[in-house]
Structure 1
């Protein structure tokens, strides 16, 4: 097995930092050989078969092209749940787990939830699993993303109603909600030059980017809907681009929202907003 580990490191160390390579080693050993950290500690004599080496070299080849490891593995973990991952939707990020945690802390008895721009469904599923009596709905413009989100809901036995819709062209919702949450596209086109190829070349542009001229367009639209479709005492939650936190706070204040809070993520960046109507 030592040779397998050396092989992975020798192939990838020039392209990724040490922590990333160590993570790839652990993930690939377990994915292909079901070898966990404990087995690595107690034995150096576990070898890969020819078939396993073919799988390993295929994964290494894909990593050399900067394909995300989550797409190679076909899944990731989110809030203790297994989420299927492929190019139909963005890969769930750790900071979005912080958003789910914040929602559950702020409104643990919510009975109706709407997740707008649901993507893989991770937010809706995370909330549905914790708010066991809540009715959770989720919307996305992409039919492919909706299909993936439905698969993830089934995997996790989360009862969610999914709807395909362009929220920017939506003027009404079917009911009012205790919680409306959205992690919409928020990266401007001009920020593409700062992004890594594993995101740019593989994750869907539709879920990532907004025009430079109107970077908070989704927040404006969702805030407008929330003024009508949040229940009394309900809460609106956003994940945001750190560059536009104060601008979105001002927008919400102008639209009559109260108790507006701009919250940093674990890395110290402005990342989340909550407010009430």
Structure 2
């Protein structure tokens, strides 16, 4: 099976340019083949075992399974994280959230930072590596996510303490953290109709969706916990649903946070909120 064979098969599912990009990424991640290798025909000379692996991967892609699940790899902040069904695939937009934390916490010596809803561990691991003096902790309610997150942290040489904890039933901590960061579920059920099928059919709904009747479900719970558990002047960082940026800001103000900033993402959408405990 040649590179041209692969992308033409995938073009039945994706636009041509995207099919070609996915095909190149597939060959690189599975077999370490560069674009130059592919152009020179290296894909035509794979072993029988490699061809079987490739065929299975292409069939999964033809069923609209995300390339990151097929290869088991997702790039985040220039580092490769292992992902598989059961954890959310890291997004480029979330890299901005990490940069905001790094910048916001730079003047705090040996900060204690908590990542709530860690998933693959991409945020906690990134912060641990980018702020070497920080003490990172991370929560998730999913045993599978915690296992994958811990493996990612170990593989990348990050020090993170992972714990199973439901964000909707947080402990009664007082003045424990210098910063809390979270990318919680925030997509309302009614928004499913506008989503890509490969996301809707493959990524964990537990990490994506909230009821239409409670769009701020996780934000209220996490903010309530942060209001007690952050030290004075501590920072809270959220990735948010663009449609509820103002509602989230008002909620935070009522809970006693100030210096509230709504920050746009690379697509010019309201995507992050940063605020400070009074």
1:179 — aligned with what? 179
Task: Quote how far apart the aligned CAs of 1:147 are.
Answer: 1.1
Number of the residue aligned with 1:25:
23
Structure 1 runs (4+) deviating above 6 angstroms are none
Aligned match for 1:104, one of 102, 105, 117: 102
Structure 2: gaps (5+ residues): none
TM-score (norm 2): 0.94
Contact 1:109–1:131 (CA under 8 A) maintained in structure 2 = no
- What is the aligned partner in structure 1 of residue 73 from structure 2? 75
Aligned equivalents of 1:193 and 1:159: distance in 2? Answer: 39
Structure 1 segment 232-247 matched on structure 2, within 5 A: 232-247=232-247
Change in CA separation of 1:174 and 1:165 when aligned onto 2, cut-off 3 Å: farther
8 Å contact kept, 1:260–1:274: yes
Superposition RMSD in Å:
1.6
Measured against aligned partners, the alpha-carbon deviations of 1:226-254 in whole angstroms (never above 9, x if no partner) come to 11111122110000111111110111111
Q: Distance in 1 between matches of 2:4 and 2:36?
A: 18
Provide the rounded CA distance (Å) in 2 between the counterparts of 1:54 and 1:69: 17
Report the 3-state secondary structure (helix = DSSP H, G, I; strand = E; otherwise coil) of the residue aligned with 2:115: strand
Q: Is residue 3–residue 43 contact of structure 2 (8 Å, CA) maintained in 1?
A: no
1:46: how far off?
5.5
1:267 aligns with 2:267: yes
Residue 38 to residue 174, structure 1, CA distance change in 2 (3 Å) = farther
Instruction: Report the CA distance shift for 1:19/1:233 in structure 2 as closer, same or farther (over 3 A).
Output: farther
Using a 3 Å threshold, how does the CA distance of structure 1 residues 247 and 223 change in structure 2: closer, same or farther? same
Q: Describe the SS at the equivalent of 1:90.
A: coil
In the TM superposition, what is the alpha-carbon distance from 1:190 to its structure 2 partner? 1.1
| 1:59 matched residue in structure 2 | 57
- Contact 2:173–2:228 under 8 Å retained in 1: no
**Per-residue deviation, residues 139-197 of structure 1 (Å, max 9, x unmatched):** 11111111111111111111111110111112423751111000001011111111122
Q: Which runs of 5+ in 1 are unaligned?
A: none
Match of residue 94 from structure 1: 92
| TM-score, scaled relative to structure 1 | 0.94
Instruction: Give the structure 2 partner of residue 49 of structure 1.
Output: 47
Q: Residues 81-115 of structure 1, C-alpha deviation per residue, up to 9 Å, x if partnerless?
A: 22110112100111011110121122224411000
Conserved in 1, the CA contact under 8 Å of 2:179 and 2:235?
A: yes
Secondary structure of 1:202's counterpart equals: coil
Distance in 2 between the 1:61 and 1:40 partners?
A: 20
| Alpha carbons of structure 1 residues 255 and 59: separation in structure 2 relative to 1, 3 Å | same
CA distance in 1, matches of 2:2, 2:30: 11
Cα 1:155/1:109, change in 2 over 3 Å:
farther
Aligned length, in residue pairs: 274
Cα distance in 2 for residues equivalent to 1:132 and 1:124? 12
CA–CA distance in 1 between the matches of 2:216 and 2:85? 25
1:88–1:148: 8 Å Cα contact kept in structure 2? Answer: no
Match of 1:144 in 2: 144
